Amino acid sequence: MDIIFYHPTFDTAYWLNALSAALPGARVREWKRGDKDHADYALVWHPPIEMLQGRDLKAVFALGAGVDSILSKLKAHPEMLPEHIPLFRLEDTGMGEQMQEYAVSQVLHWFRRFDDYQAFKLQAHWEPLADYQREDFTIGILGAGVLGSKVAEALAPWGFPLRCWSRSRKELPGVTSYAGVEELPDFLKETRVLINLLPNTAETAGIINGALLRQLPDQSYLINLARGVHVVEPDLLAALGSGKLKGAMLDVYSKEPLPPESPLWAHPRVAMTPHIAAVTRPAEAVDYIARTITQLEAGKPVSGQVDRQRGY
C-alpha cells in the first residue's frame, strides 16, 4: 500500500513516521512536484492539481474538517479527482472538544456580562449590573453536524434553552431542532446567541447577512466558528452599529490573514482569534485515517465520506 502526503505547513516528518507506525507495511512518502509514482491513498491540504490528477486512487483524505478548498478546485478542474474516488474529511479528531471549549467559554463570558465589565474597566467605572436570566439567553446553533452537535452537548449542562438549524431535522437531547429555509425565521426570532458551524456550500455563503441578523432579538450576539464567507462583514458592522448585535466573536474572516485596514480590528465590541478555534490534532487524525484505511482495505463500511453535491 502506497500513501502520499502533502500539507504546506504541517510537520511532515511527524506525519510520515506516525502513519508508518499506525499502518505497518504501508509505504508513506511526502509528495513533491514531479512525483508520478503509484499511490493508493492521498492525504492532502490545499493540494496542487498535479498531485491528484491522473491517479487511480482508492481514496483521498482532506487533513481538516472542511473540504471547500478541494471542492472549489474541482469546479475548475473536475479531472483532478474523478467522481468515483471517495473524498473523506476529518470528522472530529479532537476538533469537537476544541469547539466546545471555545463556544462555552464565550457564551459564559457574555452571560456573566464580562464584556460590559471590561468596558467599564476601561472607563474606570464601578457599577454592578443586573444578571441575565438563563431562560432569556437562548443559544441557537447554525449547523447540527458533528461539530454542531458537540457544541450543543457541551452547552446542555448549563441550562440555557438550546436550538439548532440545519438542512434536515436532527434528534439531539435537549435541543429544539429546526430544518429548512421555511423554519429559519422561527429559529432566529428568539435566538440570543447565534453560533455558526455551517459547512461552506453555495447555499450557505453569505447566509449571515443583514436580512438574517434583523430577525434576531435586539442586543444579540454572534460567534462565527465556521468560515468567513458565511458572514457579510459590512452587514455585521451595521448590525453592531444599530444595536441589533451587542457583540461578535470571530475566528474566521472573508480574507485571511485579516487585512490591517479592516474595521473589525478596532471595533470595541468585536473579539477575534486568528482561525484557531479547532485545529487538527495530529495523533487523533492519524488514528482516524489509519482506522478508516484499514476498514476500506477490509471492505467494511466507513464514515466521513464527503457528499460532493452537498459540499460536506
298-311: pLDDT as tens digits: 999 999 999 998 88
| Position 69 pLDDT exceeds 90 | no
Work out whether the CA dihedral 73, 81, 66, 51 comes out positive or negative. Answer: negative
Q: What is the pLDDT of residues 274-288, one digit of tens each?
A: 999 999 999 999 999
Contact 80, 67 (CB under 8 A): no
Q: What is the pLDDT of residues 10-38, one digit of tens each?
A: 999 999 999 999 999 999 999 999 999 99
At 65 the pLDDT is: 85
Provide the mean pLDDT of the chain: 96
| Position 228 pLDDT exceeds 90 | yes
For residues 312 and 136, the model is more confident at: 136
| Position 66 pLDDT exceeds 90 | no
Rounded to whole angstroms, the Cα distance separating 261 from 272 reads: 15
At 45 the pLDDT is: 95
| Position 91 pLDDT exceeds 90 | no
At 92 the pLDDT is: 82
Rounded to whole angstroms, the Cα distance separating 164 from 156 reads: 12
* Burial tier of 83 (Cβ tally within 10 Å: 0-12, 13-18, 19+): exposed
Contact 174, 162 (CB under 8 A): yes
Q: What percent of the chain has a predicted confidence (pLDDT) above 90?
A: 96
* Rounded alpha-carbon distances, angstroms, from residue 241 to 40, 98, 246, 247: 53, 31, 9, 10
At 241 the pLDDT is: 97
Q: What percent of the chain has a predicted confidence (pLDDT) above 70?
A: 100
Angle at 270 between CA 265 and CA 273, to 5 degrees: 70
Interacting residues of 115 by C-beta distance below 8 A, sequence separation 6+: 109, 246, 247, 269
Mean pLDDT within 223-234: 98
Mean pLDDT within 245-273: 97
Positions marked catalytic? 227, 275
Structure letter (DSSP) for residue 305 = B
| Position 234 pLDDT exceeds 90 | yes
Distance of CA 272 to the CA centre of its chain: 15
| First-last CA distance in the chain | 27
Strands (DSSP E) along the chain, which ranges? 2-6, 27-30, 41-44, 59-62, 87-88, 139-142, 162-166, 175-179, 193-196, 220-224, 245-250, 270-272
